[in-house]
Structure formats: structure tokens, C-alpha cells
Structure 1
Amino acid sequence: MAEAAAPQERSLHERIMSDVEGRILSGEWPPGYRIPFEHELTKEYDCSRMTVNKALTELVKKGLIERRRRSGSFVTRPHAQSAVLEIHDIQREVQQMGLTYGYHLDHRELRKATAQDRAALEVKAGASILSLTCRHFTGDIPFCLEDRIVNVSAVPEAKDADFSSVGPGSWLLQMVPWSAAEHRIRAISADRRIADALAIPVGTACLVVERRTWHGQVYVTHVTVTYPGERHELVAQFLPMQQQ
């Protein structure tokens, strides 16, 4: 019986590429981190500059690094995609990009509905509303800002949930079946509050997704999620309408 062939050894440029990719995906080299210069990698791996260049070129094609003239190569910022016609769990969205997810509850308030709340959720004056502001992170970098109101009469359990460790979106998806949703998408320039929350300059272009969901005839929640524009895009898949 013939012996099984030994597995083919990886080429040096593949090993360099794998090492760099591993450090990026593990979070050791976070977005914005400048990776070693070509001559430094050449010395570390005892190889030609052409070999290092080949490895880095492949990483650029994968979207993991970007090259800046006279500055070096840097780990790219996360760039996520969301389907317009779906309700996404932000934690899962971040983890599917191979990045470390983080969450922080900035503000929680149980209060009477304001005029703006009543318009968003179509509740009566005096209705109880839970207002939440939180941020989602990739590593230490803010991924998006979430401003949400919840109709407490539709979800009484929300009154006692503190949301200090679990995002309200994830919690609601598990607790309340939704029968319909409405999306509104727009672009804005970051004001001071948004800029501070997302660690971006005032005036940065941002993508805003507003959504309200309801169960039966009752509105459950209204949420506004704000993303730095360069890090997120929305996609939609649809079929042509059948001809009558």
C-alpha cells in the first residue's frame, strides 16, 4: 500500500500572511494599528522584500490592511453590511466580521411618554416608556450608537430589565415576537453628542437607520442606530414583481 503524501509545506509569503492575519483577527493589532514596515518584516522573517510585499498585497485584497503612501500599512477599520429588510442582532453582526464585540449602557430612564414618544409609538398621554441609550463596540472602537424607546405596556418585563450587560435589541428579539417592522434610512452629519459617543470629528458623515416594530396592532419599540458612514453599508435583495 502506497504511503500517504506528506502535506505540502506552506510557502514563506503564506506564513507571513497567516501570522499578520492572525494578529489582526485576534485583536492584538486593532483597527488603525500600523503594522511593521516591509523592511522590518523582511528582517524578522529573513526573506526578500518581494516576499513580504506579496503577503501584504494579499492582505490588502482581503480588506484587512490598507497601504498609505510614505506612512506604511495599517489595519483597516471594520466595514459592516446589514440587510435593509431584516432586523439584525448587532452583537452577532460584529462577531460575524471576526471582531471582538463590546457593549456599554450609557443611559436608562423609565418615564412618561413625551409628545415625540407618542408620535413614534402611537401611545396615549401618560403611557410608560423605557428610554435607553447605549453603544456597541468592535474592540475598543465604537461601532454604533443606539437610541431606543420601548413601549412598557407592550413589554412589561422591560421595566425590570437593567440592560447593563445585554443590549436591548438582543433582549427584545428573544422576548417579543414581532409581526412587522418599518425602516427609515438617512444620512446626517455628526453633532457633538454623536461625535463624542462614536469618537469621530463633529460633522462626520453618518448613516442613520430608524426602525419601529410592532406585534399585532401594538407598537413595541422605536430605535435609531447611528453608524460612522465609512464603516457601514446597507444592502437589499429583492425579486422582480410578477407581470400581471
Structure 2
Amino acid sequence: MSLAANRAKPDMAKPTLYKQIRLDIERRILTGEWPPGHRIPFEHEIMARYGCSRMTVNKALSELAQADLIERRRRAGSFVRRPQFLSAVLKIPDIRAEIGALGRAYGYELISCTRRTANAGDRARLGVTKPCKVVAISCRHSADDLPFAIEDRLIDLDAVPDAAKANFKVDPPGSWLLHHVPWTEAEHAISAIVADDAIADGLDIALGAPCLVIERHTWRKTQPLTAVRLVYPGEQHRLVARFRGSE
């Protein structure tokens, strides 16, 4: 979708106009209307639509680049920024794609999805202090009809408002977020546990069986986006990272 036409009085209102351009583009990025990798209209296109100078457009795009929402490429234009991964272990995987890459059939079951005012536990988990709304999701991923992982996720609706309208009965939340919501920072905490009754039932494994747990938080700058806990059968899942030493 192109930027809506918005003719303005020439550059007497430059400060207001550049902010309007920045906010219009930022809204499209943060709502997922323009996903990671999407090309932003060229500067001359934005100039024509807003009736402004190249300097005004450049100021708006520069601020978006400084906020890590877009990347500017010489001669190619500006694009919605894609997340940068540090290593295989730190990569945020799309479980659906991961299972497909193994040559196995992916399955997905939404167990529960509720919108609510964040309670104290939700806020602590997301790392926020102010009142907010969240989407709380519980689901199960399978490979060849065998349980692959169970997922427990919170999404901050202040940061990701379009999550309130997403169809998580069809779209796995991790896949939806990766394709619609840009992020700038992520953290993984990896641990091992033994299966309690709920986990054993969810993964169809023995009570007390070893499990791998990945807890992930993602942020855009300092704003929390989502917190997720993924539990895998320990004997069926491993993490691999390949890296080089200094020469």
C-alpha cells in the first residue's frame, strides 16, 4: 500500500510535516502493514505525495533509520529493517519453517488465546511496570503428528496492537510475529527441566522425562514486544552453534 496523499502548505510547516511523515511510516511498520524487507517509497515519491522538499523527507527517514526501523541503501532505497542474528543458537526460528526444513509435516494446535489486562505476573514476565493489555497464547507444535514443542506466549498490545486482530487459530504466533513485527533486540535463556504432569501430557512423554526450555524476550529499542516459553522433549531436540576462533 502506498502512502496516502497528504498535500501540505510548503515548507513553512517543515517541523510538523517531517514528523507527520515519520509517524505515518512508523505506524505502517509497527502495525505490520509494511513487514521486514518491504521497500519504503522512494524520496521523490514521498515528496510528491506530501508536497514537501527532499530535506524534509530525508529528515524523517534519517530519524527512522536512527531508531533501527529502516535501513537505507545507496541507490536501492530504504527498506523496513530485518532483524540481525548473532548465531544459530541466538537466531529466532520459525518453528513451522524449522519442521518443514527437516522434511516433516508441520501441525499446529491453539490451546487457548485470551486478551486481558496484564496482571502482576504478566508485567514481571514482560519487564513492564505500567498497566497494559496483553494477548496470552498457549499452543502446541507437532511434527509428523508427534508433539514437537509446547508454547506459552505473552504479547504486549501496546507495542503490537495488530496482535489483537491476528487469527492465531490459523497462524502460529511466532511465525506471525516474525513476518509482521520488526524487533531490534532479543534474549534467550536456555535451561533443562523434568516434565511435570502438564508438560508430560502436552508433549506425550513420561512424567519426569528431561525437557529443554527456551525462554525468549524481544524488544524494539527499550519497548518489550513479547515473552515466550518453549518446552521441547529433551531427547528429541538440540541446539547447535558454529563459530570461529580468532586467528
Q: TM-score, normalised by structure 1?
A: 0.63
Q: For the Cα contact (< 8 Å) 1:129–1:150, is it kept in 2?
A: yes
* CA distance in 2 between partners of 1:100 and 1:177 (Å): 28
| Aligned with residue 237 of structure 2, among 210, 232, 237 | 232
Matched residue count:
161
Q: Does 1:161 align with 2:166?
A: yes
* CA distance in 2 between partners of 1:138 and 1:213 (Å): 26
Question: What residue is the counterpart of 2:82 in the other structure?
Answer: none
SS of corresponding position for 2:238: strand
Alpha-carbon offset, residue 170 of structure 1: 0.3
* CA distance in 1 between partners of 2:96 and 2:187 (Å): 21
Unpaired runs of 5+ in structure 2?
A: 1-86
Q: For the Cα contact (< 8 Å) 1:187–1:206, is it kept in 2?
A: yes
Q: Does 1:95 align with 2:100?
A: yes
Counterpart of 2:96, as a letter, is Q
Unpaired runs of 5+ in structure 1?
A: 1-81
Alpha-carbon offset, residue 124 of structure 1: 3.0
Question: What residue is the counterpart of 1:188 in the other structure?
Answer: 193
* CA distance in 1 between partners of 2:127 and 2:209 (Å): 32
Question: What residue is the counterpart of 2:150 in the other structure?
Answer: 145
SS of corresponding position for 1:210: strand
Alpha-carbon offset, residue 241 of structure 1: 5.4
* CA distance in 2 between partners of 1:132 and 1:162 (Å): 12
Percent of aligned positions that are identical? 48
SS of corresponding position for 1:83: coil
Which deviations, in whole Å up to 9, do the C-alpha atoms of 1:25-48 show, x marking residues without a partner? xxxxxxxxxxxxxxxxxxxxxxxx
Question: What residue is the counterpart of 1:106 in the other structure?
Answer: 111
Which deviations, in whole Å up to 9, do the C-alpha atoms of 1:99-137 show, x marking residues without a partner? 000001001011111222212222234310110000001
* CA distance in 2 between partners of 1:139 and 1:158 (Å): 28
Question: What does 1:65-144 correspond to in 2, within 5 Å?
Answer: 83-144=88-149
Counterpart of 1:128, as a letter, is K
* CA distance in 2 between partners of 1:94 and 1:122 (Å): 31
Which deviations, in whole Å up to 9, do the C-alpha atoms of 1:196-228 show, x marking residues without a partner? 111111111000000001112101000111000
Question: What residue is the counterpart of 2:5 in the other structure?
Answer: none
Question: What residue is the counterpart of 2:14 in the other structure?
Answer: none
Considering only aligned residues, what root-mean-square deviation do their CA atoms show, in Å?
1.5
Q: TM-score, normalised by structure 2?
A: 0.63
